[in-house]
Amino acid sequence: MKYYVLFYDVVDDYLERRAPFREEHLNLVQRLYEQGAILLGGALADPADRVLIVFHTENTDVIDDFIHRDPYVKNGLVAGWKVRPWTVVIGNVADGKIGEGETLIQ
């Protein structure tokens, strides 16, 4: 499994326009969180101009599907997006393991 970060650049009036789409967006995020594909996510503040979501998946297929199903994207709240692989160095999992049989501190 690999880590990826999805960055959304949102429109200037994103906070004002998101209400009608928020429940559907959060339901989509919640389903992927429950499946283990999303680890965390949220909007950056001051200013609220970007959103980031951390995924833990084999590839970007789940992320691509999420983007195309996300009501924020479909309704013009997202001006652009970028998916980047993320190399996690610390804080990977609560038990302190980085990978199979490899501990953070020896």
Q: Cβ(9)–Cβ(47) under 8 Å? A: no
Neighbours of 93 (CB within 10 A): 12
Summarize pLDDT for 63-102 with one digit per residue, the tens. Answer: 999 999 999 999 999 999 999 999 888 875 533 444 544 4
User: What are the pLDDT digits (tens) for 30-61?
Assistant: 999 999 999 999 999 999 999 999 999 999 99
CA atoms within 13 A on the CB side of 44: 12
Q: What percent of the chain has pLDDT over 90?
A: 80
Segments making up each domain of the chain, as ranges: 2-103
Q: Please check whether residue 74 is in contact with residue 67, taking contact to mean a CB–CB distance below 8 angstroms.
A: no
pLDDT tens readout for residues 15-26: 999 999 999 999
DSSP state, residue 50: E
Helix (H, G, I), strand (E, B) or coil at 60: coil
CATH architecture of the domain formed by 2-103: 2-Layer Sandwich (3.30)
Q: Name the pTM for this structure.
A: 0.84
